[in-house]
Structure formats: structure tokens, C-alpha cells
Amino acid sequence: MFKKQPIILSFSLFLLWTLSTYLLEGRLLTFLRPDAVVDRLIYILVANFIIGIGLSIVILRHLALKNLISVQKAGFQSIKHTSITVVIGLVLGISIYFLQNPPTMHPVVILNAFFQVLSVTIAEILVCWVVIGSAFESGFENLGKYHSVIIAIILSSILFGLYHYAHSPPFNTIEMVSFLSFIGLFTGLFFFISRNVYATIVFHNFFGIKGVLQALDKADQLSSYEVFHPPLLITAIIALISLIVMHYFVLRSLDDK
């Protein structure tokens, strides 16, 4: 028998997160409108900050208190472990970006895209791998250590791909969803090997950059990112600080569980 509670809670989180993304992003096509600052901020606040970061951490804490998930195995490690794995994630992420034949090498465009994607990436990693991945690993642990991890990587990657049906075109196409599910396998593999949420965020963010820049290029909006957009940096910093604060005040006492 598998453990039902972590799987039910994590899937409920996924459904709520996906619905809020569709209502506040996909339906309004905010990714395709660089000038839609207000719409983007509302989407980021609700779908990514409140649900993606806040609710994910609350659910993780609840499952950790029930001894159903280990906070450390869910990616919240020591500063030393985080520092080392973040550098590894950064090097791998940059390498992968340049090997993907990106639509631009303009440094300002890349920075704007990095900052725009970061808040989304943080929510994606927390929902799909920290909560869902860890929940499936815990739920199927009776099958064995490696089998449960393989199941967690595959299922979390599939859900990650399906989530993009809630986004703006071209992310909501069958081809893109399939491709992103495939990309999710690499992110899941990195997460379960590194066991570090911050490193996985850095690593995965470079996949997101390529997707956003391709969408902007297809919509002939790429040139609009050649000028630095401070709101993108501000939201990225706030998202990262929110994660760190939630980690410190909500999960710190559970780090040894």
C-alpha cells in the first residue's frame, strides 16, 4: 500500500496552482505582453508567491511534522551543501543554455529573461519536485528506494509538462507540453541527486529562459527586452527572499527531520 496523504495533498496543490495560472496568465496571455506589468504582478503574487511558494512550504511543513517527508531530502540543506550545488547547477545551466542554440546571445535580454522566469521557476520547483516529487517518493517508498525515486521523477515531470497547458502560447501546445515533460526528467534527476532546492532552481531556470525567449522571438517582441526592465529584477528578488524567509521561519526547526 502507498501512503495516500502526501500524494493527495501534493496533487491538490498542483490543481490549485494550475487553475490560478490559467486564470491569471494563460487566459490573459501575459507572457506575450511585456507591457502587461500589472497583470504579470498579480499572476506572480497569487500563483507563484502565495500558492507556489507559500502553500508549498506550509504543506511541506505539515508532511514533515507527520514524518511523511524529510525536509532535507526535500531539498533544504546546509549552507555549505547549498553553496556547492548552486555552483554546479549554475555551470550546468549556463552550458545547457548555450548548447541549445538560443535565439539570442544579448546579455541584457538574457538577464531580463532570467529575472522574469525566476519567480515562476521557484514555484515550479517547489510544487513539482519539492512537494510532488517528495510526496511520490514517500508515497511509494514501500517499493524500494530507487523504484520510488524513479516513480517520483517520472510522475512529477509529467505533471510539470501538463501544467503548461495553463500558460500562454506556445507553452500550451501538445508538442511543448511533451517537450517540457522530457526536460522535467533532467530537472527531476538533478533534484534527486543534489537534494537541493536552490541549486535545482538555478539549474532549471536556464531551461525556462530559452522557452520565454523563443516565445518572444516568435511574437516579434524580443527587441523589447534589450532594455533592462527593473520590475523583473524586483519580482525575482522578492521571490527569492520569500523562499529564504519561509525556509528560515517555517522549516528551519524541521531541518533534522
Helix, strand, coil share of the chain (percent; to 5): 80, 0, 20
Phi-psi region of 107 (alpha: psi -120 to 50; beta: other; left: phi over 0): alpha
Digit-coded pLDDT (tens) for 154-211: 999 999 999 999 998 878 999 989 999 999 999 999 999 999 999 999 999 998 888 7
Predicted TM-score (pTM) above 0.85 = yes
Given this model, what pLDDT does residue 2 score?
A: 65
CA-wise closest residue to 159 among 191, 192, 124: 124
Q: Could you give the angle at the alpha carbon of 25 between the alpha carbons of 24 and 31, nearest 5°?
A: 150
Number of structural domains (the chain) is 1
Structural domain of 25: 4-254
Contacts for 84 with CB less than 8 Å, ≥ 6 apart: none
Instruction: Give me 76's grid cell.
Output: 533544504
- How far is residue 161's CA from residue 249's CA, in Å, rounded to a whole number? 31
Across the range 53-72, mean pLDDT stands at: 93
- How far is residue 46's CA from residue 24's CA, in Å, rounded to a whole number? 8
